[in-house]
Amino acid sequence: MRTLLILLSFTVALCVTAQAQTVTGRVTNPKGEPVSFATVRVKNTKTTVAADVDGAFKIRAATGQTLIISAANYATQEIIVQNPDNISVTLQVQEAGLNEVVVTALGQSKSKAKVGYSTASFNNEAITRASPISMLDGLQGKIAGADISTLSGTPGGSTKVVLRGYGVIGGGGNQPLYVIDGIPLSDALFNVAATGGNGPALSDYGNGMNDVNPADVENITVLKGTAAASLYGSQAKNGVILITTKRGKAGKMKVDFTSTFNLTEVGKLPTYQKEFGQGWGGTFILSENGSWGPKLDGKMRPWGATVDNSQLIKPFSAQNLRDFFDWGTESNNNISVSGGNDRTNYYFSYGNVFSDGILPSDVDRLQRHTLSLRTNTTYENFSISTSLNYINRNLNTPAKFSLSPFGNDIYTQLWQLPVDIPVKDFKAYNNKFFNVDNYFTPYAENPFYTLYENGSNQKSDRIYGKIDMTYKFTNELSAQFRFGGDFTNARTKIWNAVNAPSPGSWNAGNNVEGAARRPDIGSYQEQTDYNSILNGDFIVKYVKDLGKDFSLDVLGGVNYYQTQASNVTAAIQGLTVPKFYNLSNSDNPPTSSNGYAQKRLIGLYGQAIIGFKDQLYLTVNARNDWSSTLPIDHNAFFYPGANLSWIASNTFNLTNTGISLLKFRAAYGKTGADAAPYLVYPTLTQVAINQSNIYSGMRYGTVTFPFNGVNAFTINNNIGNQNLKPIITKEIEVGTEMRFLQNRVGIDAAYYDKQTEGQIFTVPIAPSTGYTGLVENIGVVSNRGVEVTFDAMPVRTNTVTWKLTYTFSKNWNKVLSLTQGLDKVIEATDGLSGGIEFDAIPGKPIGQYLSPYPVFAPDGKIVVDPNTAFPVQAADKVDIGTSQRDFSMGLVNVITIKDFQVGFSLDYRKGGVMYSGTADLTLFTGNALATAYNDRKPFVIPNSVNMTTGTDGKPVYTENKTVVTEANFSNYFYTNNNKALAYPMRLIDKSFVKLRDVTITYNLPKAWASKLRAANLSLTAYGRNFILWVPKSNPYVDPEVSNLGNDLTSEFGEYGAGVGPTTRTYGLTLRASF
Amino acid sequence: MRISNKIVAYTTGLVLLLSGCKKQLDINHDPNNPPVDEATPQLIFPGAVMSSAATIGGEYAILGMLWSEFATEDAFSSQYRNLDSYSATGSDLNTNYGELYTGALSDYQLVLDKSVAAEDWNFYLMATVMKAYSYATLVDIYDQVPFTEALQGVANLQPHFDAGDVIYDSLINEIDVALGKDFSARTNSDPGTADFIFGGDMAKWMQFANTLKLKLYLRMVNKNDAKAQAGITALYNNGGNFLTEDAAISTFTSVPGKQNPFYAYNIFSLNTTNNLRASITFLNWLKENSDPRIVSYFGSPTAIGIHQGDFQNTTDPTYANAATFVQAPTDPVQFISGPESYFMQAEARERYFGGDQAKELYDLGVTAAFNFWGFDASGFIAPGGAYEYPTAGTFDDKLDAIITQKWASLPGSHALEGWLERNRTGFPKSSPVYSTDPSWVPGEFVIAKATVIGQNYPKRLVIPDEERSTNKNTPDQVPITTPVWWGK
């Protein structure tokens, strides 16, 4: 239908011809150097050429016509043709300012002057300075109001991006919308739940946004606010990240080549105590998995299993855990070919990534190939641009959770090594002392076994692209049709080897503790995922000067958006032939499942911008959406927005004040968002009974159907809601942009106040209702915040420039209310019954930790139970902190000295706590630094009392004298026994300062470059994340990590045994243009 | 303005197109799960029964193993330390409580509704019996639970709790109503393979119903002996007709997901397989009586045990060699076992019929319990045998014998019953000293070494947090040392 409209539109064609001659000229900068490939256009015509490498151009133009000369990073200039020969054009270097064009909602380019809300833009150089393989990793700490975190040290892992705080309580939905060249880009996580279950995803296969090749990106613009994004509708309630890809430019063919190679090493590891060795309860025990033994004395001792009447010996002294890790390597190569003429431009690129992480073996490895082809064609009044991108990805990634009883994850094994056990010896995991039978402890598995025998792989093919056509009916009126899609197919395999200690062996119970290790029965799982987005827009635009003071800019459009996701999983549990991974290889029948989800949305929208005297711009916009995921009779929602921009520096004459730009902005926006599919109607589900905490991923005692050849269904435990309403986000934003001293200093500040209402959440309800959850619109979350970006150029001479950018953001987050009767919503737990909860509580920031906590006497003394020697646990859990940060700030410096450029950036995030699974396990095993407390001598908990009930029924407090004995020492640090104190030990301050990157670039002299026929040649040495400062109270992990996805639940921290360490990177990049 | 007219026309066309799009947007019916209207008794009942089995025969059985002193926590593992030290709080066993309501009881209710509509009295009786069994278990553990206002979904999000005796009376009444239905009606369907317990044999379901009533009446002897007597007398007047074999799911296999739920939890899923070690309380009783079942339960006639709740003792050199409780993935989950039926009948005969036939029923019980493991009990129950019925003894001696023998038949998925019956009868007896004391008598219960509730035994669980935190009508917390309504 829409295509037909476009075809109809061809019937109206306009053609302009003029009396012309050949005009020649040259474009230079103020230093007299050529501006290569500048664009030269004859005003009010389509005649466009590109200058050559030396800045020379030839164009057909009549005398008296105006030439418009533009080039990246230079101010556009107009020149009237008088003499056709040797026109000399000097372009001025353009600093950030008003003339800048920004991409706004729906991919519409707009002069920044007209924009009444905060935007932040980054060009390719800023994105790729330290050669990341994920396009947003280079912007960490560089955008005020954006929290960008890398969630693990594993290649291909997920990145989390949150703009202006968390607004959505339930079910994720806090990620921004990614739009690439006007088409939404899927950010789906192709995570795969553990075999046969519905627990947390087993491995992190990365999020969709990370697939985009950073080398292909021309520009990233971040629209943080609702006001800026509301025209995008439902998907954009958390802001939009607009990606503009590189395109060909008219002129001769240009080849760009970039090659980078780096080494990665393990970053922060938990700091261990170095005083006590293997054992438990103060006793040396050969088969223990903890460091609760005697003091390390350096003396030679036998260790491990007795095999063939022999035993190994080693000194009883601390070993280095770093020995476990390897150097990782990563190479990333990109080549692009681009060019074109005045009608058609093309851009083709190919990039690859080969990355192998810090774990020995190839259990952590990413291979990625990206291909892109883009064209732009203009024919008379019709222009068409296309983009086609293909990504092939092959990722191996280790499990993030224990897979009991099928196999194991690596970090659970690693943190269970006593400090004196030499990890690197275990690499020979088939050696008779370190194999399945005789590994030193039955409580864990040789980590190298896990590394080499278990793993997962995901191969994916992704195609995204678009076709975008514009027809100009007149200079004022045009119509645009854009259609695009994003299609991914991913195939995942997960394998776990089968093993069992041989009867009579050390780990079958023939050890000093008589403990037997449960066999790994092995498993194999395959999953195929398909994901697609289809998006179409038809937009009509009308631009008109209304007399000498007013301008009008109107657009209206219709949007069609559809997503589909499907998956098929099959798995076997228990292998017949060891190490043979095929669905046929089990005595047990394979289990399989599939899922399908579809949603569709239709939107109508309009926007008008009224300008007054180039100084005041008012934008009003509105959109109405119809969504398939809402009840069919109430599926429409409407939301308006408006923003105002006032260029005060155009209103007043500020020439002598040192103020080069003064702009004020104000905006109000509203967006509605629909629900996830299938939350409306009641259903049955196939029976699968788990006797476990749903958050833990551990499935104890599972019974599944069909059973005995009989299938069975049960009423879905979640009650759907046939009155479901959309989520509405409203935001008010005010801000200012000021530039001083010929643009050398600038400030951009914004204040916003955002409320997200009617959150869709499955509220836990009493099981006695027959259900566990009720889908409801609940609660209001408020985010208010301040964002400041300050930039300056303290030094600007012909040979030296120094630019710095400082960003500051602070967000006040608060859950204003929940549904009546609901005093909290549990977002996540540590998986232990009665342990730590991560909650949304009215009146507090979203993401509050409730922990078991001691009872205190009125004088503040801690009440200890004389039976246990540990504090009495308070009846209710206590709120002991928030995951929300106090503030974040970043500092970027770029110093150019002749042909050298040095840059570094710092990222500081202050405040907030997180749960650490690494802390949990290392406190349990006695490896954590904290466990050396009091030199492990028996102690009475300081300032403690016992409580008894007096004759009058009132509590009586007496001094506590019960000693935490040596045998009980380890229990002090463990949640099974000392609940009240041990749980809070697992919550740590997540403040950090990171030296994000340091780069040194040398632009090789032109003379050298030209010998290689290159226009530019540069070499960059870089380092990423190699300095990390954390508070002393966090001796455990890099606080950025999480293995709970990339939305709100990830703020909980690292779960299970944790994600393991992040990495430090050192590399070299060569860039060449021909 | 011809062009503008065109735009207006196009836009109008698009709006018309959109208004025809309602169908395009009606795609929100979950393709992954059938609509609730598709439910039939055959489709729902098997999963509900399995839910009862997986909870009562799963984690609740682990609680039963420890609190019946069949087993105790290993000194070098830590999985059940909180239970073995009686520090069970509102955060323990939440999942099983929730599963019973949402996976079993709500589905039994759906089966009842559907079978009433279809006049399918076979499923009606089956669902009634299983509902009563499951509710009674909740009452036995938690004392009060929501009943009259439960299972109503959004219609009542804060159900009131009902007193245990009221629930018991209602359950008995519901069983009577179900037993009174017309089982020859043409509308009845054959449950066949959808009945994991009896394969659709309705005669056995009637036995199950009667035996369950017997069990419910016996539970109330401390509280309302007259009602118990009247009810039991009525049962006998109706011909008795009690179970002679297990009401159990016995078709578990070694396939993951199809295993005995207690095995699947305790052996298959955990890091180490030896959390549950032989408790000296039970082990030494078996040894003292040279009971051959010691091999069935603990693998060897010379098995070593751990004193109840002594898991903090890592220095006793024998503890590392203590026997692990023997389990197999194919172990059954018994709701009421054949031996249990005989023991209950023996108690009833002893209480209300002057002991008539009590010895015979007791002997049948012991014999069936031994037979289950392939052993012959005849020497044990013969005169002079270790388990000879104390015909000449007092009522308490007889009850002691009946309940102790019942207790000895329960380890495994049926272990919860051992703790419940002790709460009701006080048998096996409590020892005044710990089992390390030379004067301790094997088989007498001792308070766990690691007790956190002082010198007391746990008699109930507190209402799980999952209910308390979402239901404002949850009663105030009662200490776990307080007996439930029928308790002693």
**pLDDT of A582:** 94
A831: left (phi over 0), alpha (psi -120 to 50) or beta: left
Given a cut of 80, is residue A237 above it in pLDDT? yes
End-to-end, the C-alpha distance of chain B in Å comes to: 95
- Give per-residue pLDDT as tens, A81-96: 888 888 888 887 665 4
CA distance, residue A507 to nearest chain B CA (Å): 10
Q: What is the largest CA-CA distance in chain A?
A: 112
A38-59 residues labelled b (16+ CB within 10 A) or e (exposed): bbbbbeebbbbbbbbeebebeb
What is d(CA B275, CA B324) in angstroms, rounded to the nearest whole number?
Answer: 8
- Inspect the interface and report whether the beta carbons of B157 and A774 lie closer than 8 Å: yes
The answer to whether A80 and A191 are in contact (CB under 8 A) is: no
Q: Is the pLDDT of residue A420 over 60?
A: yes
pTM equals 0.85
Residue A949, chain B, CB below 8 Å: the answer is no
Q: Which residue of A768, A822, A873 is the best one to mutate when testing the B interface, meaning the one whose CB has the most B CBs within 10 A?
A: A768
Cis peptide before A706 (omega within 30 of 0): yes
Closest residue on chain A to B249 (Cα)? A708
pLDDT at residue A403 tops 80? no
Residue B424 pairs in a beta bridge with none
Contact A750, A118 (CB under 8 A): yes
Q: Does A741 touch chain B (CB under 8 A)?
A: no
Nearest to A885 by CA among A826, A827, A829, A812: A812
pLDDT greater than 50 at residue B344: yes
Percent of chain A at pLDDT > 90 equals: 55
Give the β-pairing of A862-863 and A837-840. Answer: unpaired
Closest-CA distance of chain B to residue A471, Å:
13
A1026 vs A557, residue with greater confidence:
A557
pLDDT of residue A16: 35
Point out the least confidently predicted range of A602-611, A694-703, B215-224, B263-272.
Answer: A694-703
Percentage of chain B exceeding pLDDT 90: 84
Residue from A901, A906, A890 nearest A802 by CA:
A901
- Res. A694 pLDDT band, cuts 50 70 90: very low
Q: Contacts of residue B35 in chain A, CB cutoff 8 Å?
A: 681-684
pLDDT band at A204 (very low <50, low <70, confident <90, very high): confident
Q: What is the pLDDT of residues B388-426, one digit of tens each?
A: 999 999 999 999 999 999 999 999 999 999 999 999 999
- Taking the C-alpha atoms of residue A695 and residue A828, their distance in angstroms, rounded to an integer, is 7
A683 contacts in chain B (CB < 8 Å): 30, 33-36
**Sorting pLDDT into bands at 50, 70 and 90, what band is A10?**
very low
Q: What is the rounded CA–CA span in Å between residue A406 and residue B375? A: 36
Nearest CA in chain B to A572: B256
CA A857 to chain B, closest CA, distance in angstroms equals 20
Q: How many CA atoms lie within 13 A of B392 on its CB side?
A: 1
Show the tokens assigned to B354. Answer: 């002057």
Across the interface, of B76, B154, B193, the residue whose CB is closest to A708 is: B193
- Give the residue on A whose Cα is nearest the Cα of B250: A708
| Closest chain A residue to the Cα of B469, Cα to Cα | A766
Give the three-state DSSP class for B413.
Answer: coil
Q: d(Cα B346, Cα B427) in Å, to the nearest integer? A: 15
* pLDDT computed for residue A6 by the predictor: 40
Dump pLDDT digits (tens) for A771-819.
Answer: 998 888 888 999 999 999 999 999 988 889 999 999 999 999 999 988 7
CB distance B157–A766 less than 8 Å?
yes
Cα A39 to the center of its chain, rounded Å: 37
Does the structure show a pLDDT above 70 at A395?
yes
Query: In angstroms, rounded to a whole number, what is the distance separating the alpha carbons of residues A303 and A289?
Result: 12
Over range A968-972, report the average pLDDT: 89
Q: How far apart are CA B12 and CA B31, in angstroms?
A: 34
Q: Rounded to the nearest 5°, which phi and psi values hold at B380? A: -75, -35
Helix (H) or strand (E) holding A252: strand A251-266
pLDDT in tens, A842-874: 999 999 999 999 999 999 999 998 888 899 988
Cis before B34 (ω within 30): no
Q: How confident is the model at residue A110 (pLDDT cuts 50, 70, 90)?
A: confident
Say what the pLDDT of residue A349 is.
96
Cβ of residue A968 closer than 8 Å to a chain B Cβ: yes
Predicted pLDDT at A5: 40
- The pLDDT of A715-725, averaged and rounded, is 91
pLDDT at A472: 94
Per-residue pLDDT at A8 exceeds 50: no
Across all residues in chain B, what is the average pLDDT? 93
Q: What is the pLDDT of residue A96?
A: 47
CA dist A128 and A215 (Å) reads 7
Half-sphere exposure at residue A1043, Cβ-oriented, CA atoms within 13 angstroms:
34
pLDDT at A41: 84
Residue B342 CB burial class (10 angstroms; 0-12, 13-18, ≥19): buried
Closest chain A residue to the Cα of B91, Cα to Cα: A834
Q: Which residue of chain A comes nearest to B37, CA vs CA?
A: A683
Is residue A388 very low, low, confident or very high in pLDDT (cuts 50, 70, 90)?
A: very high
ipTM rounded to 2 decimals = 0.92
Taking CB atoms and an 8 Å cutoff, what residues of chain B touch A594? 32
- More confidently predicted of A700 and A382: A382
On average, the pLDDT of chain A sits at 88
Q: Is A293 within 8 Å of chain B by CB?
A: no
Q: Which residue has the higher pLDDT, A110 or A231?
A: A231
Q: Could you tell me the maximum CA-CA distance found in chain B, to the nearest angstrom?
A: 116
Q: Write out chain B residues lying below 8 Å of A477, CB-based.
A: 3, 7
- Amino acid B9: pLDDT: 60
* Residues within 8 A of B (CB atoms), A 801-820 only: none
The whole-angstrom separation of Cα A760 and Cα A777 is 5
